[in-house]
Structure 1
Amino acid sequence: MQTINTSIIPTKQTFAKVVAPHELDLEAICVFAAIGFFLDTDTYWKDSKVLAAASIHTLDDKGFLQQSRPYFKWHYTPRDITFQQALEEFTELFESIIAEQIGRQKVILPLSGGLDSRTQAVALKRLGAEVHSYSYQFKGGYPETHIAKAIAKACNFSFNAYTIQKGYLWSVIDQLAELNQCYSDFTSPRQMAIHHQFLEMGEVFSLGHWGDVLFDDMKVPDDLPFDDQVTLLIKKLLKKGGLQLAQQLWQAWGLEGTFETYFRNRITALLQHVDIPHNANAQIRAFKSLHWAPRWTSVNLSVFKSAHPITLPYYDQRMCEFICTVPEAYLKNRQLQIAYIKTKAPELARITWQDQRPFNLYNFHRNQSPYNVPHQIAGKLKRGISAVLGNPYIQRNWELQFLGADNQQHLEQALLHQELQELVPESLIKANLEGFYEQDALANAHAINTLLVLSKFNQQFRHA
């Protein structure tokens, strides 16, 4: 017998066998097509499951799952504390966790223009850590490396800026498929573009994943009815074009009923299991932490992990437990992180917050009309001029990896000439390619991303 304890938010998927036919779980794959990740413990196969988070699992000597028992359940038990007390507790906890995680190692810190990595930068600076930081931006996109560089300079960190280039995916796609095992699309983990640079940067990653979920509300009333929570989650989960692709596959594979009914029933059951009846924000956050984080966010941590050990302060069990006891009013609108940065490193608070640009942590409340109108006009003019000059503004990685003649050739080779037709009807593949290249790229990008994953899965894993 073997016992495996999974973290509250696991950093990797751990698989176990179950007694079931060794055949594709087509319903689960339809969900993947709709939302971009697998739900709950689902995998590509009926006889394989991912071990659930925050549980103790018993496996027999052949790797079959015998029993799972949860040791932690997300809850909402707010304490009667002031905001200042919550801030002091967060400060001590956050800095202690990071100090324990990094020890005396040289830290690699990916920096963005947002708050999560900036909060880490404050802690690492205060701890006196040796840090090498980096950031990247899309070729032809918003220059977010400028913000990251300013943060690094204020903290006296060494820094590299990278530009994500057009078409890099095709030289690394097989390696990426091995790393994430086809449990994610291939254009979201843009860190793969600079994967070869990681070995020279330091000794341990400090990654800021999931801070934006734990330290914010879910933008809903606390008393939002359960059925409305289900509807909201479905809306948030479905990718643009994902429902259509899932419906197409459901019909092509002759599955019973409708995908919409199946999917709503799954979300309803999973949300009922969370069972935080008195606060919708806490319940939705818990749902996302149970399912979104381990089955989507964590999947591509494997790219970092293949180069160096990884640490994630927001994933730490103590941080999850802390969040369950903080009043929702203090989490709303990132208040704790903002107050921490302003209190401990005001120079970093004065640097532009990318989501609120051109404003910073002191004046972002002015990001509304009429204060932000000049910035919006300037942005539109700049993008318009670039488009006229034949340089469209790039906002998403798939634009760099799928658009253009060379990319189209690679994509069609992957979708039409690598036996994907064993799994997906050729007519469906061609219809989605036509929709992407001849009709509306944005509306069909997710479908193309998913079909590419299914092609690599069929090629590299299905017959293994």
Structure 2
Amino acid sequence: MKNCKTPIIPHQPVFTGEKKTFDRKAICVFAATGFFLDDDTYYKEQKVVRPAHEYTIEGNAIVTGAPYFKWHYNPIERPLEQIVQEFAVLFESIIKEQVGDKKVILPLSGGLDSRTQAAALHYLGNEVQSYSYAFEGGHDETYYSRKISQACGFPFLEWRVPQGYLWDTIEELASLNGCYSEFTHPRQMAFLDHYAAMGDIFSLGHWGDVLFDDMGVPDDLPFEEQVKVLSKKIIKKGGMELAESLWKSWKLEGDFSSYLTHRIEDLLKGINIPTSANAQIRAFKSLYWAPRWTSTNLSVFESQKPIALPYYDNRMCEFICSVPEKYLAGRQIQIEYLKMRMPSLAKITWQEHRPFNLYHYQWDKRPWNLPYKIIDKIKRSAAPQTLIQRNWELQFVGPANEKKLEHWLFDNPDFSKWIDPEVVSGFYHKFAKENPVYYSHSVSMLLTLSLSTKQNS
């Protein structure tokens, strides 16, 4: 018998129970959203232990379990300046505890989460190896990362994600993430053999953008509307159509849409934060999206070096529950932290609001952003070319990619026994001939389910 205490946001799953009977309803949710909901797995008898719980486990079964933390909204009113100071102390303390004096491997982007980490690591005096990557044939996503690394004095590596890299690594990736996430997002697989020599520990900025922002809804949004907002957020393009097709082909009771809506309603009711729709939706995402989607591919980093996740820390989650929503909205805390701790980073363009930086990003609206948009449009028109903009374009587009994709979709006998080949061919045709953007998720999920037959055999 052993005790198990799960973090508020777990970074890896703990499974209990046995692999016996496929949970087809759960798999339909997975097909629609890209992640398994709540404690679901591929099997009815197997479950994932829930976040923020203390468990007693004997053998492969839970004996007792109870929550030790519940997401809430108890804001303590104080000035923004004080909140930023509190965040600085907490954030830097967490990072110092997590990485100590180890050499840190820091992925950088043009956003705020990793930039905030860069400021903290620079302030703490850590040795850092930073890096970034961009699509081969795509926009130069390393541009702002390079500027951030230069401002901090960090060594910087930049890579190009090559076309078709997935097929050389797909079976290893399936083993690492257990086929609990589709395969087009973890671009880090393209550079797996680089990481070990770069440092001692990863510091990763996952989930900062959710904790330190509002959810884009009025705080008094009715419960029924919150359910609609969440459904829209979690269901991917083409996902509902794929899930409904699987549901019908497996002859499951009722209809998938009603089933998923009832699942979301029940989970949202269990959170019960009546005073803030933003806090309630954030809690839902942190309970069910973060550990079952965002965390799934952290295993890729962890296969090479230990990982540290400052935004996942229990204390950060507790801190968020005390911050008034008006200060979380618009990323204010991270922005003011960067201005306070390292103004040179705040002066670098915020990629999401280019060409504006953190001192005047509010101008990213008409009429102030019109000159940039006009010039940018002229540049794109003067040099027309097809740019790689999406993960799946690197892996699914082109003759070589199509051959590999078709192999996994149509030459896997175990997959054909489980998923109706007509469903597979129908969605592949829609992807290849009708609307690749809309049906890319559907095809990616079918690819994942095909690989899962190997993992679950």
What range is the shorter-chain TM-score in?
over 0.9
1:65-84 equivalences in 2 (<5 Å): 65-84=62-81
Q: By how many angstroms is 1:379 displaced?
A: 3.4
Report the secondary structure of 2:86's partner residue.
helix
1:414 to 408, 425, 437: 408
Give me the whole-angstrom Cα distance separating, in 2, the residues matched to 1:383 and 1:13.
Answer: 44
- 2:187 matched to 1:190? yes
Q: By how many angstroms is 1:81 displaced?
A: 1.4
Residue type at the aligned position of 1:402 = F
Give me the whole-angstrom Cα distance separating, in 1, the residues matched to 2:48 and 2:349.
Answer: 40
1:325-340 equivalences in 2 (<5 Å): 325-340=322-337
Q: By how many angstroms is 1:196 displaced?
A: 1.2
Match of 2:394 in 1: 400
- 2:48 matched to 1:50? yes
Q: By how many angstroms is 1:375 displaced?
A: 2.6
Give me the whole-angstrom Cα distance separating, in 2, the residues matched to 1:386 and 1:145.
Answer: 21
Report the secondary structure of 1:196's partner residue.
coil
Q: By how many angstroms is 1:2 displaced?
A: 1.5
1:112-131 equivalences in 2 (<5 Å): 112-131=109-128
Which structure 1 residue ranges, 4+ long, deviate > 3 Å from structure 2? 377-387
Match of 1:431 in 2: 426
- 2:277 matched to 1:283? no
Give me the whole-angstrom Cα distance separating, in 1, the residues matched to 2:139 and 2:197.
Answer: 26
Q: By how many angstroms is 1:59 displaced?
A: 1.4
Match of 1:456 in 2: 451
Report the secondary structure of 1:172's partner residue.
helix
Contact kept, 8 Å, 1:138 with 1:163, in 2: the verdict is yes
Q: By how many angstroms is 1:159 displaced?
A: 0.4
Q: By how many angstroms is 1:380 displaced?
A: 3.5
1:441 to 436, 439, 442: 436
Give me the whole-angstrom Cα distance separating, in 1, the residues matched to 2:286 and 2:380.
Answer: 36
- 2:135 matched to 1:138? yes
Match of 2:36 in 1: 38
Deviation readout 1:129-171 (Å, 9 max, x if unpaired): 0000000111222212010000000000000011111100000
Give me the whole-angstrom Cα distance separating, in 1, the residues matched to 2:289 and 2:36.
Answer: 9
Give me the whole-angstrom Cα distance separating, in 1, the residues matched to 2:421 and 2:310.
Answer: 45
Give me the whole-angstrom Cα distance separating, in 1, the residues matched to 2:256 and 2:382.
Answer: 43
Give the alignment's TM-score, normalised by structure 1.
Answer: 0.97
C-alpha RMSD of matched pairs (Å): 1.1
Deviation readout 1:323-372 (Å, 9 max, x if unpaired): 00011111110000000001111110111111111111111111112222
Deviation readout 1:55-102 (Å, 9 max, x if unpaired): 011111x21122221000000001121111111100110111101111
Report the secondary structure of 2:8's partner residue.
coil
Please say which of residues 359-368 and 166-175 is displaced more in the overlay. 359-368
1:304 to 280, 290, 301: 301
Contact kept, 8 Å, 1:386 with 1:392, in 2: the verdict is no
Residue type at the aligned position of 2:7 = S
Residue type at the aligned position of 1:267 = I
Contact kept, 8 Å, 2:57 with 2:64, in 1: the verdict is yes
The number of equivalent residue pairs is 456
Contact kept, 8 Å, 1:386 with 1:393, in 2: the verdict is no
1:194-273 equivalences in 2 (<5 Å): 194-273=191-270
Residue type at the aligned position of 1:440 = N
Q: Percent identity among equivalent residues?
A: 52
Match of 2:363 in 1: 366
Please say which of residues 392-401 and 165-174 is displaced more in the overlay. 392-401
Report the secondary structure of 1:4's partner residue.
strand
Give the alignment's TM-score, normalised by structure 2.
Answer: 0.98
Q: By how many angstroms is 1:385 displaced?
A: 5.2
Residue type at the aligned position of 1:253 = W
Report the secondary structure of 2:402's partner residue.
helix
Contact kept, 8 Å, 1:24 with 1:46, in 2: the verdict is yes
Residue type at the aligned position of 1:417 = D
Where do 5+ consecutive residues of structure 1 fail to align? none
Deviation readout 1:366-389 (Å, 9 max, x if unpaired): 1112222233234334444555xx
Match of 2:7 in 1: 7
Match of 1:353 in 2: 350
Residue type at the aligned position of 2:399 = A
- 2:153 matched to 1:156? yes
Contact kept, 8 Å, 1:383 with 1:392, in 2: the verdict is no
Residue type at the aligned position of 2:22 = L
Residue type at the aligned position of 1:308 = K
- 2:21 matched to 1:23? yes
Contact kept, 8 Å, 2:175 with 2:455, in 1: the verdict is no
